A = this chain, B = another copy of it.
Amino acid sequence: MCELLGMSANVPTDICFSFTGLMQRGGNTGPHSDGWGITFYEGRGFRTFKDPNPSSRSRIAELVQEYPIKSCAVISHIRQANRGGVSLENTHPFTRELWGRYWTFAHNGQLTEYQSLDTGRFNPVGQTDSEKAFCWLLNQMEERFPVMPQKLEPVLEFVASCCDQLRQLGVYNMLLSDGEYVLTYCSNNLHWITRRAPFGQASLIDEDVTIDFQKETTPNDVVTVIATQPLTNDENWHKMEVGEFNMFHYGEQVYNRTL
């Protein structure tokens, strides 16, 4: 299995604190030593740092922990390989263009009978069930909506129903973003928290680090963090339900669908 980390914020915010906790699980406090990646959106553009090497010993992960890249939407993943070998093309997140936007995807779980999924024009490059599922999902979205609809509600309902289908094939926890929205789907394991004023302190579970968010924020900041397992031990994380689908928009939860 793997671990997911996502962020949605109303002002460009760095994710150094949460990322520091997650990276420890990549071969140190956790067994996820088969690569890691993180995608930061800045406007409509993005940049991804990834490494097929364990995050707890990665020089690039060190840079990302120390160098605060500020973003309103972040998707990150550390991998414990099941389907597909340990290689760069199998390292999440995956990014593809649809409707003139870059979509970024990360998956935690394992699917069976995914080989027959029709991915249309979106060809997987690597061998993972995850990339195959992502390509299938994008193809479904494009076939249903050849042009991006003005109203987002029907798109969301459709994406949620696609995720329901993928969950029939196994464990499917997902983060998906176009840089503006962060969409989540929970199959069995996904938590989230929204931080806003009055900000307090928080301590990482995986590393002896405490942060005082009040010193790092302004009173209007709204920052949501989504993670497979809670990253701090002194805050109230919400556990998502089986089949729960959420949309976060610049930090705020703006759509929720439970089964």
Contact = CB atoms under 8 A, between A and B. Distances in A.
A55 to B, nearest CB: 14
Interface string A86-130: 011111000011111110000000000000000001111110000
Interface residues of A, number: 33
Nearest to A127: B44
Nearest to A148: B123
A126 B45 CA distance: 8
Q: How many copies of this chain does one complex carry? A: 2
A126 B44 contact: yes
A144 interface: no
B88 A100 contact: no
Contacts of A100: 123-125
A145 interface: no
Contacts of A59: 63, 67
A48 B48 contact: yes
A43 B121 CA distance: 22
A122 to B, nearest CB: 7
A97 B123 contact: yes
A63 B91 CA distance: 21
A49 interface: yes
Given A60-B63, A63-B59, A47 B88 contact: yes
B45 A125 contact: yes
Contacts of A87: 42-45
A149 to B, nearest CB: 15
A49 B47 CA distance: 7
Interface in A37-73: 42-52, 59-60, 63, 67
A208 to B, nearest CB: 25
A84 B42 CA distance: 15
Given A45-B91, A60-B63, 14 more contacts: A42-B87, A42-B88, A45-B88, A45-B89, A45-B126, A46-B89, A47-B48, A59-B63, A60-B67, A63-B63, A97-B122, A97-B123, A100-B125, A102-B125
The 5 closest A-B pairs by CB, nearest first: A45-B88, A45-B89, A100-B123, A42-B88, A44-B89
25 contacts: A43-B87, A44-B87, A44-B89, A44-B125, A45-B52, A45-B87, A45-B88, A45-B125, A45-B126, A46-B88, A46-B89, A47-B88, A48-B48, A49-B49, A59-B63, A59-B67, A60-B63, A60-B67, A96-B97, A97-B123, A98-B123, A99-B123, A100-B123, A101-B125, A102-B125
